[in-house]
Amino acid sequence: GDAAPMEGPRVLQRYRRHGVLFCRLLCSQRYSLASSGVRAEVVEAFDINDVANDVYEHNFGHRPCQGNIQTLTAGDLDKYKAHAWLLSPPCQPYTRQGLQKHSADARAFSFIKILNLMQNMSFPPQMLFVENVVGFEVSDTHDQLLAVLSTLSFNTQEFILSPLQFGVPYSRPRYFCLFLQKRETSGDSS
């Protein structure tokens, strides 16, 4: 008979921006995942903003977990056993026109907290996707991200991409980073 189809990856969405612009990003991540052809289950989304959560619930029939991400523990994150995390930390600490306080900006604290929790998880994600403004890649928060994921044996690919590169007449470059946990080798030297 036919083999049972392999279960797709479990995905966790978190770190959303406040307001309607944030909702578009949150929903666009979910729509992009669906249109990619990857069979995945979104196991949870997180946002503290009522409006963002209303829009997400309207579009997907599920209300994101609402609360302060800084109160989460490694155990809280472990219970989702998510293979992949889609992360979009607040961009204000890294914007070129802002104060560029990076990790000293209170809006960066929740992202740094998650990085620290990852090191104590029993079931850390195998893949991460991080999106932010151009400027994040030169921040000390970015340095912390790379350091944590290096200790957890992740391969990293970083990009600055603009919709113009994909035929969309809109120039808004963004920072994207893909992280994939290195696989154990079987001891085969070939």
Looking at the structure of the chain, the number of domains it has is 1
Domain span at residue 136 reads: 18-181
Asked if residue 96 is part of any domain, the answer here is yes
* 44 in any annotated domain: yes
Cα–chain-centroid distance for residue 118?
Answer: 13
**Cβ atoms < 10 Å from Cβ of 116:** 12
pLDDT attached to residue 142: 95
Q: Is residue 92 part of a domain?
A: yes
pLDDT at 95: 84
74, part of any domain: yes
189 in a structural domain: no
**What residues contact residue 171 under an 8 Å CB cut-off, 6+ apart?**
162, 163, 164
93 belongs to a structural domain: yes
pLDDT at 108: 86
Contacts (Cβ under 8 Å, ≥6 apart) of 176: 129, 130, 131, 158, 159, 160, 161
- Name residues of the chain where pLDDT drops below 70: 1-8, 13-26, 184-190
pLDDT at 190: 45
The pLDDT of residue 21: 35
Instruction: Judge whether 145 and 164 are in contact, CB under 8 Å.
Output: no
pLDDT of residue 133: 92
Classify residue 5: in a domain, yes or no.
Answer: no
Q: Does 91 participate in catalysis according to the annotation?
A: yes
The pTM of the full predicted model, rounded to 2 decimals, is: 0.82
- The answer as to whether 11 is a domain residue is no
pLDDT recorded at residue 23: 43
Query: From the candidates 23, 27, 65, 91, which is the catalytic residue?
Result: 91
CATH code of the domain containing 165: 3.40.50.150
